[in-house]
Amino acid sequence: MISLDQVSKVYRTKTIETTALNNINLEVPKGEFLSIMGPSGCGKSTLLNIIGLLDEPSHGQVTIAGQQVQKYASKTTSRFRNEKLGFIFQSFHLIPDLRVIDNVELPLLYRNVSSKERRRLSEEALESVGLKNRMSHFPNQLSGGQKQRVAIARAIVGKPQIILADEPTGNLDSVMGNDVMDILLDLNKKGETTIVMVTHDENMARKTNRLVRLYDGSQIK
């Protein structure tokens, strides 16, 4: 499903060159739940951004669902992200001025989906994370765990093949973190959704199918 071939990322300024990723080779088959671990600044988020087409590699090939995505034009990249990928972030990134239901239907706004259908799919997604009764609330009326569940609903509403989660339990206590992890595991099992998760939490990482460790931008064998 996801294939990274000798992927490197170098950030350059006038005076300094920083290697964020160095020759990463990674294969993630369909339906796998992969976790990526490593100390801060090791390149975990950069790797996730490259898989999520939010950033471009300096070298190497990225293939997702059999397509070499680096060659896409900006508009095609946007469409690909919208249709194939779902994102979950540590800080939730819910829009504070929109109600829960409107936050969830955001990915569908960028598709040709009628408002009625958007509503139906969003309610369905909220139900699957157990938050249908909170759909008229604003994000500031929710707890951290509820916010992350809304973010998960937003990530799955468009039925993507891949979910990229950047420290989804990082801002949550252990109980809420386990709740969120259970939802992700359920999604992976029942929906056969491929999940790549960046985490600092060894316990969460152990629950996934495979763990990849990074150190100073390189993969530890």
Partner 1 sequence: MIGHILKLIWNKKGNNSLLIIEIFLSFLVLFAVLSYVIYNTDRLNLPTGFDTENRWLIYLDRNDKDMDSLANAQMRINLKNELLAMSNIESVGFSFSVSPYSNGTWSSSYDDLGFEIGSRFCKVDIDFEKTMNINVVKGRWFDETDINPTYEPMIVNEFFLNKYFPDVNMLDSIIPFGGDKKIIGVVDDYRYNGVFEEEQSTTFFFQPYTNKDAQIVYLKLSPGTPKSFEEDVSKTVESITKSTSFVIQDLQAMESRNSRQTWIPMIALLSISGFLCINVALGLFGVLWYNINNRRSEIGLRRALGASRPGIAAQFTGEVLVLTLLAIVIGVFFAIQVPLLKLIDIPQIIFYKSMAFSALIILVIVTICALYPSGQASRIQPAFALHED
Q: Which is nearer to partner 1, 17 or 97 (CB)?
A: 97
> Which residues, in sequence order, are CB contacts of 153 under 8 Å at separation 6+?
104, 122, 125, 126, 128, 129, 131
* Cβ contact 128:156 at 8 Å: yes
DSSP secondary structure letter of residue 54: S
Query: Alpha carbon 17 to chain centroid distance?
Result: 27
Among 27, 95, 120, 159, binds partner 1 (CB under 8 A): 95
Q: Which is nearer to partner 1, 54 or 185 (CB)?
A: 54
Q: Which is nearer to partner 1, 80 or 207 (CB)?
A: 80
How many angstroms separate the CA atoms of 157 and 169, rounded?
20
Among 43, 52, 168, 217, binds partner 1 (CB under 8 A): 52
CA dist 123 → 150, 165, 200 (Å): 11, 22, 32
Task: Kindly state the smallest distance separating residue 22's Cβ from partner 1, in Å.
Answer: 18
Q: Which is nearer to partner 1, 75 or 190 (CB)?
A: 75
Nearest to 83 by CA among 29, 3, 157, 158: 158
**What's the count of helices (H) and strands (E) in the chain, helices before strands?**
8, 10
Q: Select from 110-118, 141-149, 180-188, 194-202 the region that touches partner 1 (CB under 8 A).
A: 110-118
Nearest to 44 by CA among 168, 166, 152: 166
- Binding to partner 1 in span 129-158, by CB under 8 A: 138, 154
- Binding to partner 1 in span 159-218, by CB under 8 A: none
Among 4, 87, 153, 183, binds partner 1 (CB under 8 A): 87
Task: Kindly state the smallest distance separating residue 208's Cβ from partner 1, in Å.
Answer: 22
Binding site for partner 1 (CB under 8 A): 45, 49, 52, 54-55, 74-75, 78-79, 81-83, 87, 89, 91, 93, 95, 97-99, 102, 106-107, 109-111, 115, 138, 154
